[in-house]
Structure 1
């Protein structure tokens, strides 16, 4: 069968269609006429920060970054109840793609910032700058996709729960009723020959003492605010921002930890 000289291979047709979509997206890309982009944040999780789902990454605040102009973002938030060696946090920024399904897909993440707190309670202030790596805030072939930039956290160490006080005493389950069954105190001998001063029931059976642990008060967990602000800025405003991340802290010690890794487990909700 003779070959038609002017027939374009199907693969090339697809490539041309994709190239056309990309050119269209470039033409529709926003022109950076503003000095910065505003990304109003909302709280994504409660203020108390216990370990979540096996200490997976959990989002504290989320900002809708769809249709953004700049690829560099600055985020500011505060912390509380971070104590060195007892309650320390790992923090990162992450970008997510939302396509209408229940779960979201991670696109990129910054390096891990370790917030080690201090020996005394202090309110910490943290500023992070990062290149988010989101392609304009939409997919070339899908104009319904949205993106978010999320402030994520997990425990680095702790929370430390101090051991309770152990007391040798007569005990009963909280809320259990005695109902007047204890009639007297007296010496009772156990199987080993020891004598104990114990209360007895009306039927004569002893109520033996035992070691009772009185738990210490719950020390609580560290607190982290939702994003105070999340804005997109040009390179001239935040030249130190890169794909790994940059940070400035006050009121808490900090150090960079692991490199960016979007394969680490994170909460899907």
Structure 2
């Protein structure tokens, strides 16, 4: 009876399989913009692009993503591709590529990266059961090594108040005698509260939080060996306007934000 039930399940899975209309598998993802990504959860692996690849046909994938403000020595990152098995509330990493170090550029530049990988997870419609889901995820973290980025924004010294607080007589500053024949400027808020005085940082947009920008996967596409002969279990990558180098090998036991 168990064998008969298993056979029925497999037949049902085959019937549900989509008709092949292309010579590749495409797993759409969203967000094609290099969003700022500050450190997450103590700098553990954090996913920026997730593709549900349950029932995938090919064992080789290609993904593309872009970066921004990846500055050499200041905002360098590590990225990798990792595959996960989801069973109920359990999320288990089953394979990962080697770590690609993104060393950036001396000045701001929009970088482009393409990664190819043999994922090593079960594929085809004969997967473990009807509720198991597989995902391939593009993950990132700050590169271990360079000192954390410290901003160096312009500051001005003066009196300040909240923009919604009314100044004295709708003004906010006036001159009074300093008792020695000179004058000094004094600022008050409405009422008896003196406005504070000190340094104010001028936001310049670029160094707001010291975070680099990285996008989700532009696409996650499965291809046969003939189309992706350079894909390997450790990973292959090519970058444009973006310094990069391979680092340590695959490690499925490293902490990630979902663990």
Taking structure 2 as the reference length, what is the TM-score of the superposition?
0.72
Please identify the structure whose Cα radius of gyration is greater.
1
Q: Deviations over 1:166-202 (max 9, x none)?
A: 444334455433344977523279xxxxx99452779
Counterparts of 1:264 and 1:54 in 2: how far apart (Å)? 13
Counterparts of 1:200 and 1:237 in 2: how far apart (Å)? 71
Cα 1:63–1:222, aligned 2, differ >3 Å: closer, same or farther? same
Matched, 1:212 2:167: no
* SS of residue matched to 1:111: coil
Q: 2:86 aligns with which of 64, 75, 98?
A: 98
Shift in Å, 1:209? 7.4
Matched, 1:136 2:127: no
Counterparts of 1:159 and 1:45 in 2: how far apart (Å)? 26
Counterparts of 1:188 and 1:155 in 2: how far apart (Å)? 57
Q: Root-mean-square deviation (CA), in Å?
A: 4.0
Q: 1:187 aligns with which of 171, 178, 186?
A: 178
Counterparts of 1:129 and 1:53 in 2: how far apart (Å)? 27
Q: 1:110 aligns with which of 94, 97, 103?
A: 97
Higher relative contact order (CA 8 A, sep 6+): 2
Cα 1:62–1:41, aligned 2, differ >3 Å: closer, same or farther? farther
Q: Deviations over 1:139-179 (max 9, x none)?
A: 86523211111111222268735234444433445543334
Cα 1:140–1:233, aligned 2, differ >3 Å: closer, same or farther? closer
Counterparts of 1:208 and 1:146 in 2: how far apart (Å)? 59
Gaps of 5+ in 1: 1-16, 190-194
Q: 1:162 aligns with which of 148, 151, 154?
A: 151
Counterparts of 2:196 and 2:219 in 1: how far apart (Å)? 58
Q: 2:113 aligns with which of 112, 126, 129?
A: 126
Cα 1:212–1:140, aligned 2, differ >3 Å: closer, same or farther? closer
Q: Deviations over 1:34-70 (max 9, x none)?
A: 9853132213798522223333322222222111222
Q: Is the 8 A contact 1:171 1:212 kept in 2?
A: no
Q: How many residues align?
A: 239
Shift in Å, 1:123? 2.7
Q: Deviations over 1:190-239 (max 9, x none)?
A: xxxxx99452779xx99597431323423254333332222223334333
